[in-house]
């Protein structure tokens, strides 16, 4: 039964990805990044996470976003180690010297866009390193994907390895997911468990790392293309 269920999910995923219009998916990805850049400018020290979420949702309304397909995540300070499915126990206030990340999932014209990145406030070199390394891991993973044509499982095994080599812990399980027309259908267990090669412009690659000594982390996600 388990093998039959997996085969069915793989077949639905194949049919889903074959129906995607790559140009539309990439256009929505670009629009999502434009929104994220605007969000970066409205998050300032002194805000609570709840303040940031409220401001982001207001921006979505002004930008005529069709709908939100996953909750807005604005994580500050110690909450940057929380994964997407974990609820914060404290509404953290952003400090002058701080680290944060934003993760948004929205729908334009029935197509999903999902983006996220790390923000650093002040000059703390450790925070800037986390931001830099998170994006480096993403870029190295994309280069590996383009060169070696790995399965989703192999791709995240590579990511785990290089994260540890850089002195951090990979901090997301499951990680990565399908992207495209809403709602997406097929493999819903995460790209990190996907036993096939992830086709371009059909998957989101998510990177979340943590520094166990500082008890903070970084996040970056973008379409795999």
By C-alpha distance, which of 178, 150, 206 is closest to 17?
178
Taking a C-beta distance cutoff of 8 angstroms, is the pair 128, 198 a contact? no
Number of domains the chain contains: 1
Q: What is the pLDDT along the chain (225 residues), one digit of tens a residue?
A: 567 889 999 999 999 999 999 999 999 999 999 999 999 999 999 999 999 999 999 999 999 999 998 999 999 999 999 999 999 999 999 999 999 999 999 999 999 999 999 999 999 999 999 999 999 999 999 999 999 999 999 999 999 999 999 999 999 999 999 999 999 899 999 999 999 999 999 999 999 999 999 999 999 999 999
Query: What pLDDT score does 4 carry?
Result: 82
The verdict on pTM exceeding 0.85 is yes
Query: What pLDDT score does 2 carry?
Result: 62
Domain that holds residue 71: 2-223
| CA distances for 168 relative to 65, 95, 133, angstroms | 35, 23, 9
Q: Report the 10 Å Cβ neighbour count for 165.
A: 9
Contacts of 67 (CB under 8 A, 6+ apart): 106, 107
C-alpha atoms less than 13 angstroms from C-alpha of 104 in its C-beta half-sphere: 28
CATH number at residue 168: 3.90.230.10
SS (H, E, C) 5-33: HHHHHHHHHHHHHHCCCHHHHHHHHHHHH
CA distance 94 to 213: 20
Taking a C-beta distance cutoff of 8 angstroms, is the pair 28, 111 a contact? yes
Query: What pLDDT score does 178 carry?
Result: 97
Query: What pLDDT score does 3 carry?
Result: 77
**Secondary structure letter of residue 167 according to DSSP:** T
CA distance 118 to 97: 14
Phi (first) and psi of residue 181, to 5 degrees: -60, 145
């Amino acid at each position: 039964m388990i093998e039959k269920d997996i085969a069915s999910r793989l077949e639905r995923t194949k049919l889903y990805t074959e129906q995607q219009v790559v140009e539309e998916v990439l256009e929505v990805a670009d629009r999502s990044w434009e929104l994220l850049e605007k969000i970066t400018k409205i998050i300032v020290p002194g805000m609570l996470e709840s303040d940031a979420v409220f401001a982001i949702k207001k921006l979505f309304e002004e930008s005529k976003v069709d709908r939100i397909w996953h909750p807005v995540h604005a994580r500050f300070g110690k909450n940057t180690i929380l994964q997407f499915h974990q609820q914060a126990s404290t509404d953290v206030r952003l400090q002058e010297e701080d680290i944060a990340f934003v993760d948004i999932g929205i729908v334009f014209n029935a197509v999903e866009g999902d983006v996220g990145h790390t923000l650093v406030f002040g000059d703390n070199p450790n925070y800037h390193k986390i931001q830099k390394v998170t994006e480096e891991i993403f870029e190295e993973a994309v280069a590996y994907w383009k060169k070696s044509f790995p399965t989703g499982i192999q791709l995240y095994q590579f990511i785990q390895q290089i994260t540890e080599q850089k002195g951090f812990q990979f901090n997301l399980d499951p990680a990565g997911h399908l992207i495209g027309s809403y709602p997406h259908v097929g493999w819903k267990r995460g790209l990190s468990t996907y036993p096939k090669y992830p086709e371009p412009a059909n998957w989101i690659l998510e990177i979340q790392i943590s520094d166990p000594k500082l008890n903070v982390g970084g996040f970056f996600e973008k379409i795999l293309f």
